[in-house]
Amino acid sequence: MAMLIPPTPFKARLFDLLYTRAFRLSDTTPFRLASGKESRYYIDCREVSLDPEGAFLIGEVVFEAIRELRPDSIGGMTLGADPIATAASLTSFLKQQPIGAFIVRKEPKDHGRGRQVEGMLRPGARLVVVDDVVTTGGSTLRAVAALRKEGYSVLKVIALIDREEGGAAAFAAAGLSFESLFTLDDFIRRAPPPSTPTPS
């Protein structure tokens, strides 16, 4: 199980936004996840991470979670990680402890310099990898593999939401420290119970 980032007023407000704007549930038609699994619960964090208030809150909470690590940069697999990394990087600058941001492409570019990792990273840079929602952890592990291949050190993985469907165990097996802001269970506990058919 992942460690949870401690509560703060910013984190509480972020949860409210995620619950009201990003969380979806269906009693009838399951959602297909990136992992290929089906679920009655779906969370689209971009409904919040691309919102001005949401970006501010994410930047504050994630920066506080990583500031003592003093990483060189923060990022992850495009697209889910991009707004999270940008928000945290901007917050770090405003708090006079600047942390860069980077992007991991799903595949290396087929033109130009052929890079898979984009960002101003020094050799051996110490990095934090972020993701919006972790299910099995597959996409995040691919990002970590690409970073390690380039000789970078991954200090920690942080997710906005852990669905608790194997991701934490996969990260542990890969020797990665993992924290999340919330778990899927946090949202399920707040959601109304499944509807029951009305007797005819």
How crowded is residue 47: how many other Cβ atoms within 10 Å of its Cβ? 16
Listed by start position, the domains of the chain span: 3-190
Residue range 117-168, pLDDT digits in tens = 999 999 999 999 999 999 999 999 999 999 999 999 999 999 999 999 999 9
**Residue 198 pLDDT > 60:** no
171 and 128 Cβ atoms separated by less than 8 Å: no
By C-alpha distance, which of 39, 33, 61, 59 is closest to 133? 33
- pLDDT band with cut points at 50, 70 and 90 for residue 29: confident
The percent of the chain in helix, strand and coil, each rounded to the nearest 5, is 40, 25, 40
Q: Which two tokens stand for residue 12?
A: 């509480």
Q: How far is CA 110 from CA 14, 47, 53, 75, 140, in A?
A: 38, 31, 36, 21, 22
What fold does the segment set 3-190 form as a domain?
A: Rossmann fold (3.40.50)
Beta bridge partner(s), residue 39: 31
Residue 1's pLDDT is 60
Average pLDDT of the chain to the nearest whole number: 93
Question: How far, in Å, CA of 99 to CA of 114, rounded?
Answer: 25
Q: Which two tokens stand for residue 102?
A: 């980077």
